[in-house]
């Protein structure tokens, strides 16, 4: 079992706080975005992976309509009524659970409240999607408790709606689908127009360094939403000038962008070029992986970060410093920011045999916390029979 010490700690804290064992426990991992930045809400393509850091969510029925939720690291409890769920203005971490519960409750009326606690080890603000890990673990556990049938896409959409309406971030579905669909040693290629995904093998000698810059980011402060608005403005422009249907930037090629970008403000045109280029890089990257060309794939990662830095404006000095250092370290094949940007983590591709040396070199060159990770399994219900 991944992260069993956290599972055991959560079981102990749950029993001490609520006086009984949970009736359902679910686990969901964070994710690393490997290629395809801000393409999900532009109906494009992404390569991502679930990681071996995640969140457990434990829950049991109670005899009232009150929902009690405890953050296991803080041991802080909040409450809300099962029939009157709304975004919270304080202890805003609860909004990811409140919104997920509201989405499930819309499918089936909640006949009772619950007692719940969550605990995980995805670093907050690191760009590894601790929020999606919480939403998906809560979604799986609450669906089990209330007998609500869901599938991966439905649950991902419930988590996305929680982000939009409760947390205030107009995110795509990348984080939720990645958390649900992960497989060991494989990347997830997701087509966000069709909401279809498949796994792509990386070969036995590839792993990632996740470099947390300690530059904390928050995507609910408006910057993420403004980037999305720029993409939507650009898509509307291209729909008006191109001779084929355009419903999102996925429908625009870089060649078309070069010819038809005039008429857009320069900054909006630049913002649009990033996800258009990212879509092309993802499709090229899939072919390179099939050919076993990890060096070529890594070069696309470096290109991706440069596009984020120059065109999209979602990098920062700390992220740029790590990527620049990575370029000079033998054994690092590629590196780029991972996730929404504005802080958080850099993901670097290395051969497994080079991971230790490359980690030490990066740690010496930049002030960041580095973890060696391989793609891991996705979200699941935990076996309650593992109680100590």
- For residue 119, pLDDT over 80 is answered with yes
Going by the DSSP 8-state scheme, the letter that residue 89 receives in this structure is: S
> Would you list the DSSP string of 33-57?
EEE-SS-GGGT-EEEEEEEEEEEEE
| Cα of 118 vs its chain's centroid, Å | 18
Place of tokens 């706080």: 17
In this model, does residue 45 exceed pLDDT 70?
yes
Q: What is the pLDDT of residue 383?
A: 81
Distance separating alpha carbons of residues 177 and 152, to the nearest angstrom? 7
DSSP 123: P
pTM, rounded to two decimals: 0.89
251 is catalytic: no
Mean pLDDT of the chain: 94
Which of 128 and 353 is assigned the larger pLDDT? 353
Percent of the chain at pLDDT > 70 equals: 97
pLDDT > 90 in the chain, percent: 88
Task: Please report where in the chains the tokens 């532009």 appear, as a residue.
Answer: 42
pLDDT at 370: 95
The C-alpha atoms of residue 47 and residue 50 are separated, in whole angstroms, by 11
HSE-up of 306 (CA within 13 Å, CB side)? Answer: 11
What's the average model confidence in pLDDT over 220-224? 72
Distance between CA 179 and CA 159 in Å, rounded? 11
User: CA 231 to CA 225: how far, in whole Å?
Assistant: 10
Q: At which residue do the structure tokens 């980011």 appear?
A: 217
Backbone angles phi, psi at 156, to 5 degrees: -60, -40
What is the token pair recorded at 198? Answer: 């498949």
CA distance 156 to 144: 16
With cut-offs at 50, 70 and 90, classify the pLDDT of residue 25: very high
CA–CA separation, 36 and 48 (whole Å): 8
pLDDT mean over 166-178 = 92
CB 220 within 8 A of CB 168: yes
Other Cβ atoms within 10 Å of 119 Cβ, number: 23
The DSSP code sequence of 230-248 is: HHHHHHHHHHHHSSS--SS
- Please give the biggest Cα pair distance in the chain: 66
pLDDT tens-digit readout, 308-319: 999 999 999 999
Q: Tens digit of pLDDT for each residue in 5-14?
A: 999 999 999 9
Tell me the per-residue pLDDT of 274-288, one tens digit each, with 9 for 90 and over.
Answer: 999 999 999 999 999
Q: Are 17 and 75 in contact (CB under 8 A)?
A: yes
Mean local confidence (pLDDT), 44-54: 96
Q: Which of the four pLDDT bands, split at 50, 70 and 90, describes residue 219?
A: low
Per-residue pLDDT band at 218 (split at 50, 70, 90) = low
- Res. 388 pLDDT band, cuts 50 70 90: very low
Of 40, 175, 212, 270, which is the active-site residue?
175
**Closest to 167 (Cα-Cα) out of 92, 107, 65, 228:** 92
Averaged over 115-119, what is the pLDDT?
Answer: 98
């Amino acid at each position: 079992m991944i992260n069993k010490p956290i599972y055991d700690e959560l079981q102990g804290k749950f029993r001490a706080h609520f006086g009984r064992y949970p009736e359902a426990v679910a686990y969901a991992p964070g994710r690393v975005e490997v290629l395809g930045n801000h393409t999900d809400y532009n109906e494009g393509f992404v390569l991502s992976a679930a990681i071996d850091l995640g969140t457990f969510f434990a829950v049991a029925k109670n005899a009232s309509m009150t929902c009690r939720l405890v953050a296991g690291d803080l041991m802080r409890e909040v409450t809300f009524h099962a029939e009157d769920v709304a975004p919270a203005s304080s202890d805003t971490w609860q909004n990811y659970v409140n919104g997920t519960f509201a989405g499930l409750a819309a499918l089936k009326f909640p006949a009772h409240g619950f007692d719940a606690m969550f605990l995980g080890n995805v670093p907050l603000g690191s760009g590894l999607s601790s929020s999606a890990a919480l939403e998906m673990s809560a979604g799986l556990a609450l669906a089990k408790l209330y007998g609500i049938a869901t599938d991966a896409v439905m649950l991902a959409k419930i988590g996305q709606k929680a982000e939009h309406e409760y947390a205030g971030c107009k995110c795509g579905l990348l984080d939720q689908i990645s958390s649900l669909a992960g497989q060991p040693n494989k990347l997830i290629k997701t087509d966000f127009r069709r909401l279809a995904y498949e796994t792509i093998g990386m070969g036995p000698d590839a792993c990632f360094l996740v470099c947390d810059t300690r530059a904390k980011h928050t995507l609910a402060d408006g910057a993420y939403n403004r980037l999305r608005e720029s993409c939507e403005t650009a898509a509307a422009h291209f729909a008006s000038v191109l001779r084929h249907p355009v419903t999102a930037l996925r429908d625009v090629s870089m060649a078309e962008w070069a010819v038809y970008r005039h008429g857009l403000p320069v900054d909006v045109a630049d913002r649009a070029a990033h996800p258009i280029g990212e879509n092309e890089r993802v499709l090229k990257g899939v072919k390179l992986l099939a050919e076993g060309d990890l060096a070529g794939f890594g070069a696309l990662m470096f290109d991706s970060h440069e596009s984020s830095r120059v065109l999209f404006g979602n990098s920062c000095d700390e992220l740029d410093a790590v990527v620049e250092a990575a370029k000079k370290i033998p054994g690092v094949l590629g590196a780029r920011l991972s996730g929404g940007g504005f802080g958080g983590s850099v993901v670097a591709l290395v051969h497994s045999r080079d991971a230790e040396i490359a980690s030490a070199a990066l740690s010496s060159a930049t002030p960041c916390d580095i973890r060696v990770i391989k793609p891991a399994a996705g979200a699941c219900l935990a076996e309650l029979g593992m109680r100590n």
